[in-house]
Amino acid sequence: MRELPDSHPRNLGLSPYLPPALLGFAATSFQVYLIREFSVHFYGNEMTYGLVLGAWLFWGGMGSIFASKRKVPARAFWTILLLATSVFAICLAALRLSRFPLHLLPGEITGLSLMLPFALGLGLLASFPLGMLFVLAVAADKGNIRRVWIGESLGAALGGLIVSLVLIPYFSNWKGAALVGTVVCIAAAVVSGPGKRLWGAAAVAGLALAGLWAFDLPSQRLFWKPFTYLAGRDTPYGKLQVVRLKEQISLFDSGLPLYSTGDPASAEESVHFPFLQKPGAKKALLIGGGAGGGLAEALKYREIRIDYVELDPEIVRLSLQYLPEKEMQALLNPRVRIALQDGRSFLRSSRECYDLIILNLPEPATAQVNRFYTREFFELAAAKLSEGGVFSFRVPSAEIYLSPARRMFLATLYRTLKSAFRRVDIVPGDTNVFLASSAVLCLDAGVLAERVEGLGLETLFVRREFLPERLDPLRVSMLKTQLEGTEARLNSDLEPISYFYDAILWNSQFRRVEAGIMARLARLPKIWLLVPLLALGLLVLLIVPGQAPGYPLIPLLFLGLTQIVSEIMLLLWYQTLHGSAYGALAGLVASFMAGLFLGGVIGTGKKDVLTGRLIRLQAGMVLWLTVLYFLLKVPLPKAFFHLALLGLGILGGQVFITSNRLFLSKKQDYGLGYGLDLIGSFAGALAASAILVPLAGLAGLTLLLIALNAMTLAAVALKIKI
Amino acid sequence: MRRREFFKGAGAASLALGSGAGAALVHLYAFADTANLSKVEARYYKKLPDKEIECQLCPRLCRLGDKERGYCGVRENQDGIYFTLVYGKPCSVHVDPIEKKPFFHVLPGTAALSIATAGCNVNCKFCQNWEISQVRAEQVAAIDLPPDKVAALAVENDCPTIAYTYSEPVVFFEYMVDTALAARAKGRRSLVVTGGHVNPAPLSELLQAVDAVKVDLKSFSPDFYKSYVRGDLKPVLETIKAVAKSGRWLEVVYLVIPTLNDTPEEIRRMSRWLLAEVGPDVPLHFSRFHPMYLIKNLPPTPLSTLEEARAAALAEGMRFVYIGNAPGLNAEDTVCPKCRTTLIKRYAYSVQVRAMDKGRCANCRTPIPGIWA
């Protein structure tokens, strides 16, 4: 057993829970900020999140194993924590300024080939040292892994809550990270006691954090050059930035353009094509896109009253501040009622009946947005429409040729929309406007041009001169024929496939093989996707001999995977039923962390009963997953999700402690269990939301987890020998 | 047979066209992912020892070993012989207004049968048609449409012109030249919409066969071409000069991308060069950029930038300067450079020829350069 360092908190009369709690606090906070900034600078889809979270977990696991194998002295805990804090600040700066050495434009998107090394590089720099710290904390606490686990879980829960509830709403990402880092530095200095080397490390960290705070605004101005950076807000939902070029104001959300002034084409298309179907409409619902010109266009219809739903209040606030007079007045028009909430929950709770529902959101590139393109949402929209009312949305397309990837993406939306509406028509072009109704729709250019003129609408694009080309009957019918002839799956809440198809399309821009592989995966029957994963799990269970000291840790490998996949599934499921999960995210994660903490607290007992306990816990995990499976189609209340996550945490915490204690009774290696847990989580993070959820669906994925955990249960019951 | 019948289905189209382009289109949409490649020997390449070849079609001069493809992805060295894989294999066939190309001084208000195969010899980060230009030949669903069938389609669909467009037609050079010759035999003109990366010898052959060329001049800066196009400015300028010298009709489009190629100085230099090398009568179109392909998140060009660019080009002496993709600016009309009469009124694809008389201003009789009949 290693010596306690002089600076260990117990020597100062402080709680031994403090170092791991500080570690958990720092690691969780840094992880959140890294993911947020990463998705601003690289395209923020599920693959991005999976990559950066996966890289974080992988390197955390590797750091843990490294510290254990290389016997890094426990006294290095504080120095490494402070250096990790400094390095993290540098990672954030490197991410923001990377476009200059990489010769990227402010608005240029990049593919996996650049994203992958960045995710891995940043994960290595930021997470590897934090992964080492868990082992050092255990060593410093004389191998009391349970106490360290509890402390880390508590710190992580606290970090998640403080970042979500306090820092993100009031501070930018850089300033929030600087504040977290400062707290870590001060706590480290106080808890560890005086020491020349440590103060040096604290000074370095302090400098880096001060740099983050001071250069947040200048670095954003630099990033946007030669645009003029006007304002920015880091909100719970993303990063809003307002820039100006000459007279043109543009609003970006996490790097993606929301609107530019002086470019009414998008707003005209999204509003007038559905409005012209029902020129006498009295009541319309606009979900998103109102501030960027949608409202101004809709208000051209004199009789209309509009409910405009926007998730992020800052979009409206910034628009009111920076939009030209005409667009700004639209937001203040008495015929407009603005609701600042999730569009799906608004629609579900609304008692109104609308003549028009216009979905004006980005294409379904993420699971979060995909909720608005599922069969269930389309059915909800159909139910809220008046007789003959029209529902519409627009997505990017290609006018002259639909690649197989794009066809698959569009065909899924078409097929899904058709499952909820009797009539569906599509306006062809570089963007496709999907129109759906129970009544007959009209895409006759002459008729629509007459309606435009009859209503006295002043438009630049939706007008007689453009419509015959845009609504060429041959193009209209050709597009439908193509989509009807393309095999594509239905996009549903429990099998959200559209964002996977969108990811294929996105990847196909980079002339790389990923798109081809993904397209093939999309065509595989589900069973072929799940069987190899099960076989792999079985292989691991079979080839590692039961007598091997590391065998009790195998449950941890699958536990990490099970936990993260279950968490992702529950969050997706929650936001499907109850709207955007963001507002509730902190509470949901806190429930899980509280479970981990409780699991750690009650994960005690004598060594001779540990095997039996592990068997019971594995059986509990199988039972928990089975209950989840049978409840998947039930409209569950919010409380269920908190309870489910609490239960998952309790089980997970106990499995972690029990497996580790079994292993540590044979071998003093504090890092292996933690490392395996993180590596399992890495695999889950990488595969779950980007690939497995859309392809296998929540039900298929739950079955996979049940099978994996049942196999683990059998292996534990049959092979572990104490 | 009219467009409707042609596009609508296999049966009628097949009857009308013999083996049937219509049938081929149905095939396209039914078996979209099936590779459909040609094997026609390329015309411009040099054989080298050890079955290597050097492609001499464009300035890239790709040197290829056996089984290797050129940069364009649609030409392959097979056992020392260089083949085009897209001869008679277009993936896009449409009937477009000629203004969409854009050609403003060629038969205004008419339709152009527009075709493209896969492939391109540059890689613009803002490509509008990247799904066909930035892929290999087998990655698109191509149909069988030999040159004589294209010409027949143009006749059947009342298209006085055939446009080789969307991707980069230089990469389907042999197909384009043969189609242009077949079209000419049927009284149809050919229009090339190109980035201008082509070597002098093939360009000279091409100019014998076609009637008008629109060159996309993407910038007047060599650095821009290197960074955002992966090409060179010099050969593009040489192409513009060669087209003008050949007597074929030339129009130039300049896509104004905010912050990248939009400085007044660059616009003025470009205008001065055009004035000196090809004269003031070449129509110059400034086109508004919209987020596309890899530059998805750059905002559209501010309208004032487009207006300033047009003003600068006019001030330098160019006589026909237009702004595209920005209908609110009303800068699409053709105006007599002498008496300022509006000769052709345009709004998007709606065209009214108001005061043109046999290629002259109906008011002051000034000749207006272009192909008018």
Q: What is the pLDDT of residue B12?
A: 30
Q: Residue A311 contacts by C-beta under 8 Å, 6 or more apart in sequence?
A: A237, A288, A340, A341, A342, A343, A580
Which residues of chain A from 485 to 514 reach within 8 Å of chain B, CB to CB?
A: 485-486, 508-509, 511
Residue whose token pair is 């959300």:
A253
CA distance A39 to A44: 4
CA distance A701 to A693: 7
Whether residues B259 and A109 touch (CB distance < 8 A) is answered with no
Q: What is the pLDDT of residue B361?
A: 97
Q: What is the pLDDT of residue A44?
A: 66
Mean pLDDT score across all residues of chain A: 88
Residues of A in contact with B304 (CB under 8 A): 246-247
Quote the distance between the C-alpha of residue A145 and its chain's center.
31
Q: What is the pLDDT of residue B193?
A: 98
Query: What percentage of chain B exceeds 70 in pLDDT?
Result: 91
Q: Full-prediction pTM beyond 0.80? A: yes
CA distance A260 to A565: 38
Chains A–B, number of C-beta pairs less than 8 Å apart: 127
CA distance A82 to A79: 5
CA distance A52 to A38: 8
Residues of B in contact with A469 (CB under 8 A): 96-97, 100, 348-349
Can you name the residues that pair with A391 across neighbouring β-strands? A357, A436
Q: Residue A244 contacts by C-beta under 8 Å, 6 or more apart in sequence?
A: A227, A228, A230, A250
Q: What is the pLDDT of residue A581?
A: 64
- 3-state DSSP call for residue A635? coil
Q: β-strand A228-235 against B249-256: which pairing, if any? A: unpaired
Whether residues A262 and B4 touch (CB distance < 8 A) is answered with no
Cα torsion through A50, A56, A62, A65, rounded to 10: -110
Instruction: Report pLDDT digits (tens) over B98-144.
Output: 999 999 999 999 999 999 999 999 999 999 999 999 999 998 999 99
* Among chain A residues, CA nearest to B8: A474
Q: Residue B64 contacts by C-beta under 8 Å, 6 or more apart in sequence?
A: B52, B53, B54, B55, B70, B76, B77, B82
Contact A102/B at CB under 8 A: no
Q: What is the pLDDT of residue B111?
A: 96
Contact B22/A at CB under 8 A: no
Please give the average per-residue pLDDT across A25-29, as a whole number.
93
Q: Is the per-residue pLDDT at A448 higher than 90?
A: yes
Q: Is the per-residue pLDDT at B56 higher than 70?
A: yes
Alpha carbons within 13 A on the beta-carbon side of A444: 7
Please give the average per-residue pLDDT across B176-186, as a whole number.
98
Instruction: Report pLDDT digits (tens) over B285-324.
Output: 999 999 989 888 889 999 999 999 999 999 999 999 999 9
- 3-state DSSP call for residue A359? strand
Contact A460/B at CB under 8 A: yes
Please give the average per-residue pLDDT across A392-418, as a whole number.
95
Instruction: Report pLDDT digits (tens) over A334-353.
Output: 999 999 999 999 999 999 99
Q: What is the pLDDT of residue A661?
A: 84
Q: What is the pLDDT of residue A605?
A: 58
Which DSSP category does A387 fall into? E
CA distance A214 to A219: 9
Distance from CA of B278 to the nearest CA of A (A): 32
| pLDDT top residue among A358 and A561 | A358
Contact A15/B at CB under 8 A: no
Q: What is the pLDDT of residue A722?
A: 44
* Among chain A residues, CA nearest to B142: A401
Partner residue facing B299 (CB), from A257, A407, A473: A257
Q: Residue B316 contacts by C-beta under 8 Å, 6 or more apart in sequence?
A: B268, B271, B272, B275
Q: Is the per-residue pLDDT at B1 higher than 70?
A: no
Q: Is the per-residue pLDDT at A594 higher than 90?
A: no
Whether residues B129 and A398 touch (CB distance < 8 A) is answered with yes
| B143 close to B28: Cβ distance less than 8 angstroms | yes
Tokens encoding B89: 């294999």
Query: What percentage of chain A exceeds 90 in pLDDT?
Result: 53
Contact B34/A at CB under 8 A: no
Q: What is the pLDDT of residue A664?
A: 84
Top mean-pLDDT range of A63-67, A137-141, A268-272: A268-272
**Confidence class for position A233, pLDDT limits 50, 70, 90:** very high
Q: What is the pLDDT of residue A436?
A: 98
| A1 close to A143: Cβ distance less than 8 angstroms | yes
For residue A681, the one-letter residue type is: S
User: Which has the minimum average pLDDT: A12-16, A392-396, A444-448, B250-254?
Assistant: A12-16
Please give the average per-residue pLDDT across A282-303, as a whole number.
95
Contact A254/B at CB under 8 A: no
Q: Which 3-state string (H, E, C) describes chain B?
A: CCHHHHHHCHHHHHHHCCCCHHHHHHHHHHCCCCCCCCCEECCCEEECCCCCEEECCCCCCCEECCCCECCCCCEEEECCEEEECCCCCCCEEEEEEHHHCCCCCECCCCEEEEEECCCCCCCCCCCCCHHHHCCCHHHCCCCCCCHHHHHHHHHHCCCCEEEECCCCHHHHHHHHHHHHHHHHHCCCEEEEEECCCCCHHHHHHHHHHCCEEEEECCCCCHHHHHHHHCCCHHHHHHHHHHHHHHCCEEEEEEEECCCCCCCHHHHHHHHHHHHHHCCCCCCEEEEECCCECCECCCCCCCHHHHHHHHHHHHHHCCCCEEEECCHHHCCCCEECCCCCCEEEEEECCEEEECCEECCEECCCCCECCCECC
Whether residues A107 and B296 touch (CB distance < 8 A) is answered with yes
Q: What is the pLDDT of residue B29?
A: 35
Residue whose token pair is 């979270």:
A53
CA distance B167 to B180: 17
CA distance A158 to A180: 12
Contact B152/A at CB under 8 A: no
Q: Torsions phi, psi of A217, nearest 5?
A: -70, -50
Whether residues A245 and B259 touch (CB distance < 8 A) is answered with yes
Q: Best residue in B260, B261, B298 to probe A by mutation, most A CBs within 10 Å?
A: B298
Distance from CA of A109 to the nearest CA of B (A): 5
Contact A461/B at CB under 8 A: yes
Q: Helices B264-277 & B303-316, crossing angle to 10 degrees?
A: 40
| A658 close to A695: Cβ distance less than 8 angstroms | no
Contact B330/A at CB under 8 A: no
Which residues of chain A from 381 to 440 reach within 8 Å of chain B, CB to CB?
A: 398, 400-404, 406-407, 430
Please give the average per-residue pLDDT across A251-279, as a whole number.
93
Whether residues A461 and B293 touch (CB distance < 8 A) is answered with no
Please give the average per-residue pLDDT across A469-488, as a whole number.
93
Contact B115/A at CB under 8 A: no
Residues of A in contact with B132 (CB under 8 A): 400-401, 403
Q: Torsions phi, psi of B157, nearest 5?
A: -100, 20
| A503 close to A514: Cβ distance less than 8 angstroms | no
Partner residue facing A465 (CB), from B91, B259, B348: B348
Whether residues A401 and B92 touch (CB distance < 8 A) is answered with yes
Mean pLDDT score across all residues of chain B: 90
Which DSSP category does A690 fall into? I
| B159 close to B95: Cβ distance less than 8 angstroms | yes
Q: Is the per-residue pLDDT at A582 higher than 70?
A: no
Q: Is the per-residue pLDDT at B6 higher than 50?
A: no
Q: Is the per-residue pLDDT at A476 higher than 80?
A: yes
| pLDDT top residue among A109 and A443 | A443
| B105 close to B78: Cβ distance less than 8 angstroms | no
Q: Best residue in A39, A400, A476, A478 to probe B by mutation, most B CBs within 10 Å?
A: A400
Contact B4/A at CB under 8 A: yes
Residues of B in contact with A398 (CB under 8 A): 129, 131
Q: Which among A110, A93, A103 has a CA at the least distance from the CA of A173? A: A93
| pLDDT top residue among A383 and A510 | A383
Can you name the residues that pair with B163 across neighbouring β-strands? B114, B191
Please give the average per-residue pLDDT across A390-401, as a whole number.
95
Distance from CA of B28 to the nearest CA of A (A): 10
Partner residue facing A466 (CB), from B92, B297, B348: B348
Q: Torsions phi, psi of A445, nearest 5?
A: -60, -40
User: Which has the minimum average pLDDT: A158-167, B5-14, B33-42?
Assistant: B5-14
Partner residue facing A109 (CB), from B30, B260, B297: B297
Q: Is the per-residue pLDDT at B33 higher than 80?
A: no
Whether residues B295 and A106 touch (CB distance < 8 A) is answered with no
Partner residue facing A256 (CB), from B141, B293, B297: B297
Top mean-pLDDT range of A157-161, A288-292, A715-719, B85-89: B85-89
Partner residue facing B350 (CB), from A398, A404, A465: A465
Whether residues B296 and A402 touch (CB distance < 8 A) is answered with no
Contact B29/A at CB under 8 A: yes
Whether residues A103 and B296 touch (CB distance < 8 A) is answered with no
Contact B30/A at CB under 8 A: yes
Render A208-259 in DSSP notation, one character per residue. HHHHHHHHHHHHHHHHHTTSEEEEEEEETTEEEEEEEETTEEEEEETTEEEE
- 3-state DSSP call for residue A714? helix
Q: What is the pLDDT of residue A194?
A: 60
